[in-house]
Structure 1
Amino acid sequence: MAVPKQGGIIKKGHEEGIKFAVSILEEHGLPLGLLPLADVVEVGFVKTTGYVWIVQAKKITGYVEKKRIKKLEGVKAKELMLWPLVNDITVEDPPTGKIQFKSLAGITKIFPMEAFAAGQ
C-alpha cells in the first residue's frame, strides 16, 4: 500500500524537522513534548489528510487532527512491563488537562498533559 505523502510539506534535517514537528503538534493543540524526537532526518505533513511522518532512527507515522493523533505507528508505551504499540492519542476536549493513550492491545492510559510539555 502506498504511503499517502502526495501534496505533503517536507522538512529535512534535525533542526528544521524538529521545528516543523513541534509546529504541527502546536497547531493541533497537542503537547509539544508528546513524541520522541531524536536525530530527526525528515518530517512531512499532508495538511489535507492530516498524515504526518517523522523519519529518525525509528520511523513514526500517524494522522493528526485537532487534539488527536490516530493510526499512530512507531511509538510504544510501557505498561505492565510490556511495550504495546500506541495507536491513538487524544487530548481531552473540553480541556481537562489530561491526555489519553490507547493501544491495539486494548490498554488505555490517561496522564496529565504537563508530563508531555516540551523538554520533559
Structure 2
Amino acid sequence: MSLITDEIRSSASEMYRGDAICQEKSRFLLTEMGLPNGLLPLKDMEECGYVKETGFVWLIQKKKSEHKFEKIGRPVQYAREVTAYVEPKRIKKLTGVKTKELLMWVSLSDIYLDDPPTGKITFKTPTGLSRSFPVEAFQLEEEPPAVKEEVKVNAAAVEVKEV
C-alpha cells in the first residue's frame, strides 16, 4: 500500500519521473538541507516529489534495493517507497529504510546532524536507540563534468516529455 496519494501528488511543489532527474533532485535536496548527498542511494527511481510547505518527500524506486556504505561497513535496505519529512540538517518520520545491526534489520526513523557541528551524523530508530557515524561516510565525491552534463541532458529530455 502506497503512502503517496493523488492528493499529496497534487500538493507537491516539485515532482519528477525518471531515474536521472530523480537522482539529481534528491541529491540536490539533501545538499540544500545541509545533509550528505549520498545518504539515500536509491536505484532505478521512478518518481520523487517534495511538498515544500510541510517538508514531505517521497522517493519511489522500481524495487527495493540494498546498499553497503563501505566507509562504515554497514548495509542498508531501501524499500520500494521511501518517505520522510525534511528540514535543515534533519530527516524525520523516515519510512522504508532499515540498517543491519548485529544479526537483525532495524528500521530508521530519524537522521540528524549534530548542532553545533561535530562532523557526526546520527541515525535513530523508532525505539529511541541511536548510533552516530562520520558525515564523510555518506558524502559522494563530485561527479566528473561529463557525467553531470549527461544527467542534465537526460533530465531536460524527461522534463520536455512531461510537459
Q: Report the TM-score, using the length of structure 2 for normalisation.
A: 0.69
Q: Deviations over 1:38-81 (max 9, x none)?
A: 11111100111110000002110000000000000001111121
Q: Determine if the alignment matches structure 1 residue 108 to structure 2 residue 113.
A: no
1:65 is matched with which residue?
A: 87
Q: Displacement, 1:2?
A: 7.1
Q: Displacement, 1:16?
A: 0.3
Partner Cα distance (1:48, 1:94) in 2: 26
Partner Cα distance (2:99, 2:113) in 1: 16
| Length, aligned pairs only | 119
Q: Determine if the alignment matches structure 1 residue 78 to structure 2 residue 100.
A: yes
- Structure 2: runs of 5+ lacking an equivalent: 64-79, 142-163
Structure with the higher fraction of residues in strand conformation: 2
RMSD between superposed Cα atoms in Å:
1.6
Q: Determine if the alignment matches structure 1 residue 11 to structure 2 residue 16.
A: yes
1:45 is matched with which residue?
A: 50
Alpha carbons 1:100, 1:108 under 8 Å: kept: yes
SS in 2 for 1:105: coil
